[in-house]
Amino acid sequence: MTARDTFDLTVSRTIRAPRQKVFEAFVKPELLQRWFGPRGFKVTDASLEPRVGGRYRVTMRPRTGEAYTVGGEYREIKAPERLVFTWKWEGEEMGAMGETLVTVTLVERRAEHGVETEVSLLHSGFPAPEARDAHNGGWNSSLNDLVDLIDPRGSAATITVYGDPRSTYVRTLRMALAEKGIAYAYEPVAPHTEQILALNPFGRVPALRDGDLTLYETTAIVRYIDECFDGPLLLAGNTRTRAMMEQYVSLINCHGYDAMIRRYVLQYVFPKGPDGAPDRAVIDKAVPEITSQLAVLDRAYGPRNLLVGDTVTLADLLLAPIVFYLGMFPESKALLAAAPNVSRAHAAMAERESFKTTVPKLG
């Protein structure tokens, strides 16, 4: 196979740090262990001999499943500008791809905010486009981790949340990020605008970007950040509690939001009835459904302040922003008074920093 028969992959990132610091992250095992591998993977072993002819070997493991090991030889080292090494997976299936070559080039420049380094990574010699494409997500995700480690903005340099802060779903995502301790950039943007439509073809909020990856749908995004980042788990742990959590997530998404927000709260916020008043017919039909839903949730809480398990889960984070709005309007205030467990649990959620720091400005 000649070079013309192979396929190459190029990825890049800009990091607000001197290139010496970036270079060291590639050649010092104690640093490489903290970023190497896709989101959600952990390096369990890293052996590096950063000299021409020296070898390296790195083992990484996802949260569940088998470990992966890659190794090779350093072909060129020009600190802190350039690093070239071979790349060969161990194992029968991954190893069948053969040896490829990785070239890392670091270019330092001055910017308004200070020194930054352009990281360009060329992974060449793939035998087929499928093999190249299989490495695209891994390298992009790994470089996100590298940026998180070195850039003074941390994960806010790679993660951006888009959406209207008044949206309950946007607030759920922002609360989830706060609970996990994940820094992020935030762009307040209304649904169905050109900016959101470029991220979500359905025009709804929130959307999230993590480097080259774009995600929409709140529950999908929260699952992604929960599995990719350290911090408290937001998806219930064992099979039983996970199933119960998913039950309440579905209840809130499929039934609760429609009755409580779309057909009740929004009727007051954006009234469409006669003479610009709230549409009583819509509200009066929604109230019995809300009553039934709150009764189910009240029984679920019982004497506890969490829907399932002993820690905050996605279900709690979906419900809290909705109950926040229910407390503002006449019928729903009375309904909450008849659901004391929901009210008590919500008061406990309202004391959490993730809740306090995401309260939307209304009016």
Residue 163 contacts residue 177 (beta carbons within 8 Å): no
d(CA 76, CA 113): 32
Report pLDDT digits (tens) over 116-144.
999 999 999 999 999 999 999 999 999 99
Q: What pLDDT is recorded for position 253?
A: 97
Report pLDDT digits (tens) over 68-123.
999 999 999 999 999 999 999 999 888 888 999 999 999 999 999 999 999 999 99
Beta strands, E only, the chain: 7-15, 42-48, 55-61, 68-78, 82-89, 100-111, 114-126, 159-162, 185-187, 207-210, 213-216
Report pLDDT digits (tens) over 311-342.
999 999 999 999 999 999 988 989 999 999 99
What architecture is domain 157-228?
3-Layer(aba) Sandwich (3.40)
Q: What pLDDT is recorded for position 94?
A: 82
- What residue spans in the chain does CATH classification 3.30.530.20 cover? 3-152
This prediction has a pTM of 0.94
- What residue spans in the chain does CATH classification 1.20.1050.10 cover? 239-356
Helix, coil or strand: residue 149: helix
Average pLDDT over residues 164-171: 98
Q: What pLDDT is recorded for position 325?
A: 97
Report pLDDT digits (tens) over 194-239.
999 999 999 999 999 999 999 999 999 999 999 999 999 999 788 9
Average pLDDT, the chain: 95
- What residue spans in the chain does CATH classification 3.40.30.10 cover? 157-228
The CATH number given to 239-356 is: 1.20.1050.10
Class of domain 3-152: alpha beta
Q: SS3 sequence, 40-100?
A: CCEEEEEEECCCCCCEEEEEEECCCCCCEEEEEEEEEEECCCEEEEEEEECCHHHHCCCCE
Q: What pLDDT is recorded for position 1?
A: 46
Residue 245 pLDDT class (50, 70, 90 cuts): very high
